[in-house]
Structures are given as structure tokens and as C-alpha cells.
Chain A
Amino acid sequence: MGHGLQTDNPLIVSAFRTALDHQFLIILALAAGLAVAWNVVRTIQYRRAVASGSLDTTISQRWPYPEPAARRILRITFGIIWVFDGLLQAQTSMPVGLPGSVLTPAASSSPGWVQHLVNWGATTWSDHPITAAAATVWIQVGIGIFLLVAPRGYWSRAAGALSAGWGAIVWVFGEAFGNLFGHGSSWLFGFPGAVLFYVLAGVLVALRDSSWETPRLGKRLLRGMGLFFVAMGVLQAWPGRGFWSGQPNPSSTPGALTSMTNQMAQVPQPSVLASWVRSFGSFDAAHGWAVNLAVVVGLVAVGVCFLSGRPGLLRAGVILGAVICLADWVLVQDLGFLGGVGTDPNSMIPMIAIFSAGYVAVVRLPVAVVRLPVAVSAPPPTTALQPAVVGTVGALDRLSPSYLVRALGAVAAIGVVLVGAAPMALAATSRNADAIVTEATNGTPNVVDLPAAPFTLTDQSGRQVSLESLAGHTVVLTFLDPVCTSDCPLIAQELRVTDQMLGDQASTVDLVAVVANPLYNSTAVTNAFDRQEGLDQVANWSYLTGSPVQLEKVWNDYGVQVAVAPGGAMIDHSDIVYIIDRHGQTREILNADPGDGSATGKSSFSTLLAGQVQRFAQS
């Protein structure tokens, strides 16, 4: 068997980059179209204004007060974070690396049902690695842009809702519910999942403006954060979880925090940062008990401050919380995205944004804007807010430049999201993995145009079958050991699935296997294999055998190596598939090595083979 796919596989990396480039061109085209639309609308507005004698027909400001500061903090912070996360998803290791390096490890200590759920997502990703990785880039960049360009109104609330929705999906499949059901969780390491704070921020941004008019929302938010911090402090203080000990001597088992910082110091990163992390790790190793005590006290203190509700203590809580969060972000979480397959800056920055916004929502309420009386004469056009001009104006004329920019920007952002989401949604409806997975591991099919070597062998029913007798059909020819324990059953399953994929076209295709074992070559053995693999029910399947001399000739003619190995080993033979067209010409040779035998790999090979067979069946 071969090896699994590597994260730096050149074919995958190239395909990923190409997909991103193509989708970026689509986004550019969309942006260009929207820019043209903006120009057209503004031109129409200007001409109409000139025709009516008034150069400014904009309506007055819609809202009685500017965007609440707290809301703006959330919107802009998480808008930037989503864009950053989207750019992180563009790392070339993402298509192959995310399932194995992020998704599956995140669920490794969770109950079986969580692992099952995450595995479904990981399998879907693995089946369509390019589409999924590119989709995640544009969805997250699009959501970030959406939050940034739409500051008020329904557009902005929709951005918040979209952020919350996508965040929930990532929290479930990407963070396994933030390890809520697993073990070994700690606030220090990101429990209960960074993306949960994205969800919370999205929900807050999606609220109506009236929610921000009183301090109540801010107080509730801070109370909730207060309870959260106290709970995290209690969790951190809980005995028997490895956080109260460092590493008193080199031979002792390191505590949980020491172990984590040692690991983080090893990842590729700037040397300065690595030295900080390493130094902190050494400090914790020597003073683990004191460090944990400080963390516990700090968390509880922040929580108590937030629960107090008093402005002075709230401010102190915000400052202390920001200090603790930043320290953890640098010294423990190592900025969250360095090394390996980093997908986000972890939980500390989002957490700071949440409780900071909560504090601002308490102490800085929106202030109403005083409406000025309307002037009759048309003032010179400016970009500043203008008093309303009452007159006969159309709907198009009511659109202020700022609103137009926001609307078109929101449309553009939604377009960015759809550029990623639409292909992924389509791909997810397919049960079959993309062919590129197999091509990346086994190479692309070898295209030839040679007469196929003739043969006459015995099928599983004892009938003589020659290649000539199969003329007029496309022949998929392979070589299988009927008592093989690994590759051959997998290849047989791939052929069976290929036959199903061909649908009605299967009636013009013959799946033919030749025995690749000089010792176990009786029809009793081939029939046993067919029953084992369910191929005895496949009408266009033939498993051919013959005497060792006859078989050896066919192996030689088709370049198949078959070797008997000693010591209880199975027969060593090539894993190969030939596609022979209706005229008896060999058209393609495929490497049929099943690799790690994963469901994705098998499905991908079937997809590739079915696609190639369809090409030649139609020619």
C-alpha cells in the first residue's frame, strides 16, 4: 500500500491556488460590476437633480444617533478578525491538513457522538478538499467585509446574523463544541472555543438599535462574562487536572500548562516570541503552583468586577481582564495561529472585544442628533450630512451616496461569501470524493494508444473469455489476488462503485480482473472472492483465471509484477488498471494503489475511473 496525502502535495497546492485565483477574478468582476452600478446610479441621480434644479435631493439622516460605540467595537473587531481568519485559511496546507491537523484532534477527547459529527464534516472536507478550503477563505473574508462595510440598518444586522450562523458551524465542526464535552479543557488553552465569541458578537450586532439605547444590554453582557470568568477560575482551580504542578525536576511529568508551553515553543515562529514562550514555560515549570494561583485569582477577580455592576469596578475588570488575556494570548496561546495549520488567533482577542464592548455599552450610550431646520435653497453639494429637502423625488433619488456605498458594499460582501459557499454547497450534495485526491497520491492517468495484448482465460463460471470477445465494449482491466488481505478487496470495491457511478452506461463496459496469484488460482477461489466482495451480483464483472503458465503470460504482456514471498507474506503484485476502448486499444493506465484505504481515497478513485471510462465510452 502507499502513503496518505501530504499537506504540501504539489497537485493539491497548485489546484488550491488556481481555485483561489479564479474565484478572486470572479470577485473582481463582481466588484467592477458593482462599481459600474454605483456610477450609473450616481449619474442618474445627478442628471435628475440638475433637471429638477436641485443638486442635492438626499434625504436626511435615517437614524437619530450614530452607531452605538459598543456595537461599533464588536462590528469592526470581528470584521477584521473574520478577514484575518479567511486569509489564514488560504494557507496551502489547508486543503489536506485541516481535517487531520485541526478537526479530528479537536474532537479527540470528546464523546463518540461529537466525534461522529466532526468526522462527517472532516470526511466532507476530505472528499472535496479544494472546494472546501477555497469556500472557507471566501466565506470568512466575505463575512468580515460585510461587517465592515455595513455599519447600520438591516444590512448590518444581516451581517451579524451571518457571522453568528457561520460561527456556529465552525464551533461545531471546527472546534468540536469548543471541547465542551471533552476533557483537559482550560480557559488558558481557549476553552470554550474562540469561535463561540464570534457567535456571541454576531448575535449582538444583529440586535436592533433600540437594544443599545440603555445600559441594560451592557450590564447583562458583563454579568454573563463575570459568571464565565468565575466559572473559568473555578475550573482552573479544580484539583487533579494537572495545572497545580509545573515540573519540579526534569524527570518528573510536566504539568498541563508546562507541557502546553513546551509544545508551543517548538512550533515555527519568530525567535523572539519562541523565547518568551520558552521562558514562561521554564518559569511555570519551576513555579507551577504559584502561576496557577495567580491565574485563578485573576480570573475570579475579573469575574467579580464584572458581576459588581459598579462602573469603577467594571473599568478595573476590563483593564485586568485585558492584561490577563493578552498575557495568555502571547505566552500560552502563542498568538493562536502560528505553526502547524493555524486557523484563527484563538480566544483572547475576541474575549477582550466582548467585555470591552459590554463596558462601553454601559458607560457610553448613544447620543441623539439634533435635527436642523430644512433650508429652501440648494446648498453646494458636499459629502457631509445635509438637511432634508422636501420635494418630488423618486426612490432612486432618495439613495444617499453613503447608503449606496453601504448597500453595494454589502452586496459585494455577500457575493464574496457566495463565491465560496455555492460551490461547496453543490459539492457537499455529492457522495463521491473529487478525483483530485487520487490524482494527488497516485499521479494522473498515463495516456497511451496501444493495441491491448490478447488473452483467453476462464471466468468464474468456467467459461472461456477472450479479450476479442469483449470487442465493442469498453474494458476496465485489473489484476487481483483472490486471497489478498488488503489492496485487492479495496480495488474490487472501487470497481464496484465505479460501475454504479456509470449508471446506464455500465451496460457498455466490462469490468475484468485477472488472477494475480500463481498458487490460489482455482475458480473456487475466484468465486469465494466474488461472494466476499459482492461482485457475484455485478452483471458485467468477470474474474478470469487460468493455469500458472497462462496467467504468467498475461502478467508479462501487461507489465504486471507478481512475486511469491516467503514467511507468511501475501503475493506481491502491481496495483494497476487499464482502460481498453471498444476497438481494443489501451487508452489509459491508472495506478490503482488504494493508499491508506480511506473512504475518501476509495471514493476518489472511483470518481476518477468513472470519469475516464465515460470519456472513452463516448469516443
Chain B
Amino acid sequence: MIVSGVLFLLGGLASCSSPASNSGDSSDGAGTSVALPLTSSSSSASATWVTLAMGHLDDPLDTFWQLVTLPAGGQRWALATPPGVASNGGLVLSVGAGASVLAGFEPSQDLLVSPLAESSDQGATWQQGVLPGGLARGPDALASSGGAAIALLRQAGGTVVQSGGGLAGWRVLVTESALARATSASGCGMEGLTAVGVTAGGTVGAPMVGSACAHGDGPGIFERSGTGWQSVGPVLPGVAGPTEVVRLLGTGRGATALVAAHSGGVADLIALWSDDGAQRWTVSSRLALAGGTVIATGSTADGGLVVTYRTTGRLAAAVIHQASLGWQNLAPPPAGTAAVVATPEGGFDALVSNLAVLEVYALGGGEWTHTQSLSVPIQYGSSG
């Protein structure tokens, strides 16, 4: 009886403690991951394409990723989301040469593979396909060039597959472990694959892979060479810590990359350009995030990069062009901006996702002016 009384007291006192808190998504901390944002844009002389989340963003089943486009010379954005698949998990975009667009759906709920859709007429019609697995979660998990495509799948820490033509005949190109072994001399200390790209050159460009590196003096950028791989990432001045490739884009002349360099728990962004098939790189100055979070990235029509980020409680946007090599801050975007994107004409629009309405603001004279409200027919409840 005495023992039982003591046990009750101990049990009751044990219940005094608060329940273990759920840390939920555990990030690696501010210093080791930029958490690749899916929201991305691609701008060229013919059009700008943007993927972003809309709907009830606090409910995964009522969040629907959309694809919107602004054609060159056009004044209004249009909805171009490929039909036939639920886009709750995310949408990955790759704009190839000749205005072809390849979109991939991230897995969600019980769909474990990633359907694909490709269009060559500004999204009017789509050809469908499917990957043999689920896309990795990153804005450059897909890359296409000259009718072939490569994709970064999430299995086994990162598996790169290449199509045999069109959207079919997928075969494994390399896995993370194989790539790490093949390029061990680079001193990267690979910690996962983050992006894929295709350099310019020929009908089928050379596949490239970007990774997160635990150490080393440069980013983990690797290019297919024959049947092997070689590290082609440049030495970054002053970088000796973790890095990760945030964006990796094949351009008409070579490649463009955006790299996060971590030091002392803080990440800076560095832009890289190569005009000779990823052999030699031009390195930009650093964009200090000051502990902030990148929420969107994109390319400009002239091969530059635009970044939207949140720092010290405010939104900010910055752009860099290869010619200047320096980051230029744009006017602070409107509240709720999901992405600042470049237009085909070289201007900038801010896109605000307001449930099922996309609000568009154009930058002019240092100010953002509302120019369009685009209603998106979101089918709430259709995924649950």
C-alpha cells in the first residue's frame, strides 16, 4: 500500500512536466542550409515563367502550386498550370531552348512518382510523361535541352536520371554515393545533391550536378565527362566552410549558378557564370543574407539572377547581372510577395499570392505599382 501511494505521487508529479515539444520540421540551423525554395522564375527574351504556391498555404492539401507566364511584349500574366495532376506537392520548372517548358510535379500524399508535362506553345498544349521516382525538392531538380531531359530524384540521397528522348526511356546517370566516390578528390564532403543542369553545346548538352558540400573552398558543381564526372566548381575567395548549390542553369553559352556559402552560422549568396561549358567561371560579389531566408530565385533575360529574401522581418529583393558582378537592391517588395521576377523586357514584377488571386505589381521609378489581379480557379478540397 505504501509503495502504491508513492508510485501514484511519482506518477502524478511526472505528469507535471509539459509534454515534449514537437520541433516539427527540424532545420539544420541557420548556418548549414538555405532550404532551397521551390518558388522560382525563368526569364528569357520570349517569356517569363514562374512557379509559386497559391491557396490556403497553411493547409498542405489546399495549397496548389501554379505556373504563370508573361509573354514578351505582353501586358498581362496568364495561368499555364499543366492539367491532369494535383499540384499540392510543388511544381518544378525548366525552360529550355526555343521556349519549350518542362514542368514536373512533386510527389504528394500517396503519389510517390513525379508526373511531367512539356509544352512548346506557351502552355497551350502539353505532352505528358512520368519519372521513375519522385523529384527532389529544389527549383533545379529538372533540366532540359535539345529534346532530352535530366532529373534529380529524391531516392538514395539523390539519383540523377536522364531520358532517352522526350519524356521516356529514363535511365540512371549517377547516384549521390557514386558521384561522391568519383569526385572524392575534390574535397567536397558531399552532403546531398541539390540541382541538375545541362550546359550548352550540341544537341545534348553535358549534364551537370550541383551538391551541398560540407567543406572545401568552392561549390560542388560536377560535369559529365565521357563516362565519368569531373569537379568544375571554381575556388571561391574567402570560402572555407559548407556550401550548397541553390540554382544551376544551363544558358546559351554555358552555365549560371547561385551558391550559398556558410560561415559562422550565416549564409551569403554568390553568383557564378561560365561561358565555356563550365570550365572557367566568373564570380560575383556576395549578397549577405544576414541570417535571412531565401523565398524565391529566378533568372533574368540577360543571364542574371534575381533573389527574393526575408531578413530581419522585412522583405527584400536583389538582382545581379553578369556585366556588373555586383548585387543591386531593388525597392522593398510589397507585403506578401511570393517572388520578384524579371520580365522579358528587363523590368521587374512582384507577384503576391492572395489565396486564389495573384496580385501583380510592376517596379517603376523605385516604386511598386499594382497592375493586375489574376484569379486562379483553385479547387479547394479536391485533394482530400
| A interface residues, Cβ below 8 angstroms from B | 1, 109, 179-185, 191-192, 220-221, 223-228, 230-232, 234-235, 238, 240-241, 483-486, 489-490, 517-520, 522, 524-525, 528-529, 532, 564-572
Closest-by-CB residue of B relative to A519 is B84
Tell me which residues across on chain A come within 8 A of B130, comparing CB atoms: 483, 520, 522, 524-525, 528
Q: Is the CB of A224 within 8 A of B5?
A: yes
Q: How many cross-chain pairs have Cβ atoms below 8 Å apart between A and B?
A: 163
Q: Is the CB of B376 within 8 A of A520?
A: no
Q: Is the CB of B5 within 8 A of A569?
A: no
Q: Is the CB of B83 within 8 A of A181?
A: no
Q: List 8 A-B contacts (CB under 8 A).
A: A185-B11, A185-B12, A192-B12, A227-B4, A235-B9, A524-B130, A528-B130, A567-B379
Closest-by-CB residue of B relative to A564 is B83
Contact A485 B9, CB 8 Å, known A220-B1, A564-B84, A571-B84: no
Given A231-B5, A485-B108, A529-B113, 8 new contacts (CB under 8 A): A221-B1, A232-B12, A234-B13, A238-B16, A484-B110, A518-B84, A525-B115, A567-B376
Q: Can you list, as one digit per residue, whether each of B89-112 has a CB less than 8 Å from chain A (1) or not (0)? A: 101000000000000010011111
Confirm or deny: B26 has a beta carbon within 8 angstroms of a beta carbon on chain A: no
Confirm or deny: B231 has a beta carbon within 8 angstroms of a beta carbon on chain A: no
Q: How far is the CA of A220 from the CA of B3 in the complex (A)?
A: 12
Confirm or deny: B24 has a beta carbon within 8 angstroms of a beta carbon on chain A: no
Contact A528 B382, CB 8 Å, known A183-B19, A485-B88, A566-B377: no
Q: How far is the CA of A354 from the CA of B15 in the complex (A)?
A: 25
Tell me which residues across on chain A come within 8 A of B9, comparing CB atoms: 227, 230-231, 234-235
Closest-by-CB residue of A relative to B2 is A227
Q: How far is the CA of A27 from the CA of B105 in the complex (A)?
A: 61
Closest-by-CB residue of A relative to B65 is A568
Q: Is the CB of B383 within 8 A of A185?
A: no
Q: How far is the CA of A393 from the CA of B379 in the complex (A)?
A: 87
Confirm or deny: B203 has a beta carbon within 8 angstroms of a beta carbon on chain A: no
Q: Is the CB of B12 within 8 A of A191?
A: yes
Tell me which residues across on chain B come within 8 A of A1, comparing CB atoms: 384
Contact A231 B85, CB 8 Å, known A520-B130, A528-B132: no
Q: Is the CB of A483 within 8 A of B377?
A: no
Q: Is the CB of A486 within 8 A of B384?
A: yes
Closest-by-CB residue of A relative to B108 is A485
Confirm or deny: B324 has a beta carbon within 8 angstroms of a beta carbon on chain A: no
**In residues 315-351 of chain B, which contact A (Cβ within 8 Å)?**
none
Closest-by-CB residue of B relative to A230 is B5
Q: How far is the CA of A233 from the CA of B66 in the complex (A)?
A: 59
Confirm or deny: B64 has a beta carbon within 8 angstroms of a beta carbon on chain A: yes
Q: How many chain B residues have a CB neighbour from A under 8 Å?
A: 52
Q: Is the CB of A485 within 8 A of B4?
A: no
**A-B pairs, 8 with minimum CB distance:** A227-B5, A224-B1, A568-B87, A231-B9, A519-B84, A489-B110, A568-B64, A569-B379
Confirm or deny: B14 has a beta carbon within 8 angstroms of a beta carbon on chain A: yes
Confirm or deny: B18 has a beta carbon within 8 angstroms of a beta carbon on chain A: yes
Closest-by-CB residue of B relative to A241 is B16
Q: How far is the CA of A327 from the CA of B1 in the complex (A)?
A: 26
Q: How far is the CA of A185 from the CA of B115 in the complex (A)?
A: 50
Q: How far is the CA of A619 from the CA of B383 in the complex (A)?
A: 39
Confirm or deny: B378 has a beta carbon within 8 angstroms of a beta carbon on chain A: yes
Tell me which residues across on chain A come within 8 A of B129, comparing CB atoms: 522, 524-525
Contact A227 B6, CB 8 Å, known A483-B111, A485-B108: yes
Q: Is the CB of B8 within 8 A of A483?
A: no
Confirm or deny: B86 has a beta carbon within 8 angstroms of a beta carbon on chain A: yes
Max chain A C-beta neighbours (<10 A), residue from B1, B9, B12, B87:
B12
Find A569's partner among B19, B91, B382 (CB 8 Å cutoff): B382
Find B16's partner among A179, A240, A571 (CB 8 Å cutoff): A240
Q: How far is the CA of A489 from the CA of B86 in the complex (A)?
A: 14
Find A567's partner among B2, B84, B378 (CB 8 Å cutoff): B378
Confirm or deny: B266 has a beta carbon within 8 angstroms of a beta carbon on chain A: no
Q: Is the CB of A180 within 8 A of B382?
A: no
Find B83's partner among A185, A192, A519 (CB 8 Å cutoff): A519
Q: Is the CB of A192 within 8 A of B8?
A: yes
Q: Is the CB of A223 within 8 A of B2?
A: yes
Q: How far is the CA of A231 from the CA of B115 in the complex (A)?
A: 61
CB distance from A547 to the nearest CB of B (A): 13
Q: Can you list, as one digit per residue, whether each of B1-44 has a CB less than 8 Å from chain A (1) or not (0)? A: 11011101101111111110000000000000000000000000
Confirm or deny: B168 has a beta carbon within 8 angstroms of a beta carbon on chain A: yes
Confirm or deny: B263 has a beta carbon within 8 angstroms of a beta carbon on chain A: no
Closest-by-CB residue of B relative to A108 is B19
Max chain B C-beta neighbours (<10 A), residue from A179, A532, A567:
A567
**In residues 29-87 of chain B, which contact A (Cβ within 8 Å)?**
64-66, 79, 81, 83-87
Q: Is the CB of B66 within 8 A of A180?
A: no
Confirm or deny: B373 has a beta carbon within 8 angstroms of a beta carbon on chain A: no
Q: Is the CB of B382 within 8 A of A570?
A: yes
Q: How far is the CA of A489 from the CA of B383 in the complex (A)?
A: 13
CB distance from A390 to the nearest CB of B (A): 46
CB distance from B158 to the nearest CB of A (A): 20
Tell me which residues across on chain A come within 8 A of B379, comparing CB atoms: 565-569
Max chain A C-beta neighbours (<10 A), residue from B15, B18, B168:
B15
Q: Is the CB of A569 within 8 A of B8?
A: no
Q: Is the CB of B2 within 8 A of A224?
A: yes
Contact A528 B113, CB 8 Å, known A235-B9, A520-B128, A566-B377: yes
CB distance from B132 to the nearest CB of A (A): 7
Max chain A C-beta neighbours (<10 A), residue from B9, B17, B64, B126:
B9
Find B15's partner among A183, A225, A524, A525 (CB 8 Å cutoff): A183
Closest-by-CB residue of B relative to A486 is B109
Q: How far is the CA of A528 from the CA of B89 in the complex (A)?
A: 18
Find A517's partner among B2, B11, B64, B84 (CB 8 Å cutoff): B84
Tell me which residues across on chain A come within 8 A of B384, comparing CB atoms: 1, 486
Tell me which residues across on chain B come within 8 A of A192, comparing CB atoms: 8, 11-12
Tell me which residues across on chain B come within 8 A of A231, comparing CB atoms: 5-6, 8-9, 12
Closest-by-CB residue of A relative to B20 is A111
Tell me which residues across on chain B come within 8 A of A486, comparing CB atoms: 86, 109-110, 383-384
Contact A485 B168, CB 8 Å, known A564-B84, A566-B379: no
Contact A185 B15, CB 8 Å, known A224-B5, A490-B110: yes
Q: How far is the CA of A484 from the CA of B382 in the complex (A)?
A: 11
Q: Can you list, as one digit per residue, whether each of B272-296 has a CB less than 8 Å from chain A (1) or not (0)? A: 0000000000000000000000000
Tell me which residues across on chain B come within 8 A of A183, comparing CB atoms: 15-19
Tell me which residues across on chain A come within 8 A of B1, comparing CB atoms: 220-221, 223-225, 227
Q: Is the CB of A570 within 8 A of B86?
A: yes
Tell me which residues across on chain A come within 8 A of B113, comparing CB atoms: 483, 528-529, 532
Tell me which residues across on chain B come within 8 A of A223, comparing CB atoms: 1-2
Q: Is the CB of B12 within 8 A of A235?
A: yes
Q: Is the CB of A485 within 8 A of B128?
A: no
Q: Is the CB of B85 within 8 A of A483?
A: yes
CB distance from B5 to the nearest CB of A (A): 2
Tell me which residues across on chain A come within 8 A of B356, comparing CB atoms: 567
Closest-by-CB residue of B relative to A192 is B8
Max chain A C-beta neighbours (<10 A), residue from B8, B81, B83, B128:
B8
Closest-by-CB residue of A relative to B105 is A483
Q: Is the CB of B4 within 8 A of A484?
A: no
Q: Is the CB of B115 within 8 A of A567?
A: no
CB distance from A485 to the nearest CB of B (A): 4
Tell me which residues across on chain A come within 8 A of B6, comparing CB atoms: 227, 231
Q: How far is the CA of A564 from the CA of B82 in the complex (A)?
A: 11
Q: Is the CB of A485 within 8 A of B111?
A: yes
Closest-by-CB residue of A relative to B88 is A485
Tell me which residues across on chain B come within 8 A of A221, comparing CB atoms: 1
Closest-by-CB residue of B relative to A565 is B379
Contact A532 B112, CB 8 Å, known A224-B5, A240-B16, A568-B65: yes
CB distance from B54 to the nearest CB of A (A): 8
Tell me which residues across on chain B come within 8 A of A226, comparing CB atoms: 5
Q: How far is the CA of A570 from the CA of B15 in the complex (A)?
A: 46
Closest-by-CB residue of A relative to B53 is A568
Closest-by-CB residue of A relative to B87 is A568
Contact A520 B13, CB 8 Å, known A227-B6, A528-B113, A568-B66: no
